[in-house]
Amino acid sequence: MIKKTLGFMTLLSLAFTLTTASVYAQQGDNSPQWKNRPNHPGNINQQEFQQRRDEFSQRLNLTEEQKTLAKNLRESHQPEMEVFRKKMDAEREKMRSLKQNNASAEEIKAQFEKMRKLHEEANKIREKHMAEFEKILTPEQKAEFEKIKAERKAEMEKRRNENKSQRGQRRMNSN
C-alpha cells in the first residue's frame, strides 16, 4: 500500500512538472511567472523594501541600537544568502533547459530533488539568521515578532491559495 501511495505521489509530482513545462512552452516564456506579476513580493523595489523595513522596525519598536545590530546582521548574512540565490538561479535554469529539451522524467525528478535540497539548506540558514536576530529582541518584541510572522504566513497561504485557484481557472479555460 505504501509503495502504491509513494508511486502515485511520484507520478502526480511528475505530471505537475511536465504540465508546468508545457505551459511555459506554450507561453514562450522562460522566466518564472512571478517575475511578470508586479504585486509579487519578489518584485518590490528598494524604496518599497526600505518602507517595509521601516514599518517592521516601528511595529517592533526597535531602538536605534537594535536597528544598527539588525542592519549589521543583515549585511553579514547577505553574502551567504547571495551564494544560495546564485546556486538556485543556476539550478532553475538547468530545470528550464531540461524541460525545453524534453529530458526524461528521471532527469527532471533528479533536478527537482537537487533544487529541493538546496532550498532546504537555504531555509536552515535563514532560520539560523532569524534566531540571531531574535536574540537582540526583548520578550515583548519577540511576542510581536511572532505575531508578524504568523500574519505573513497567513498572507502567503492566502496568496498561494489564490494562485492555485487562478491556475485551476486558467486550466479550465484552456480546455
Domain extent for 90: 2-174
What is the pLDDT, as a whole number, of residue 109?
Answer: 92
Residue with cell 509503495: 3
Q: pLDDT tens for residues 149-167? A: 999 999 989 988 887 777 6
Helix (H, G, I), strand (E, B) or coil at 133: helix
- For the chain, the average pLDDT equals 78
pLDDT, greater one: 31 or 167: 167
CA angle 159, 165, 169 (to 5 degrees): 140
With 0.85 as the threshold, say if the pTM is over it: no
Residue 23, pLDDT > 50, answer no
What does the alpha-carbon distance between residue 162 and residue 160 come to, in Å, rounded to a whole number? Answer: 5
Q: Which of 5-9, 74-78, 115-119, 158-162 has the lowest mean pLDDT?
A: 5-9
Look at the chain and report how many structural domains it folds into.
1
**What's the farthest any 2 CA atoms get from each other in the chain?**
59
Torsion angles phi and psi, residue 27, rounded to 5: -80, -20
For residue 7, pLDDT over 70 is answered with: no
Q: What pLDDT sits at residue 170?
A: 64
| DSSP per residue, 70-85 | HHHHHHHHHHHHHHHH
CB under 8 A, 24+ apart: contacts of 162-167: none
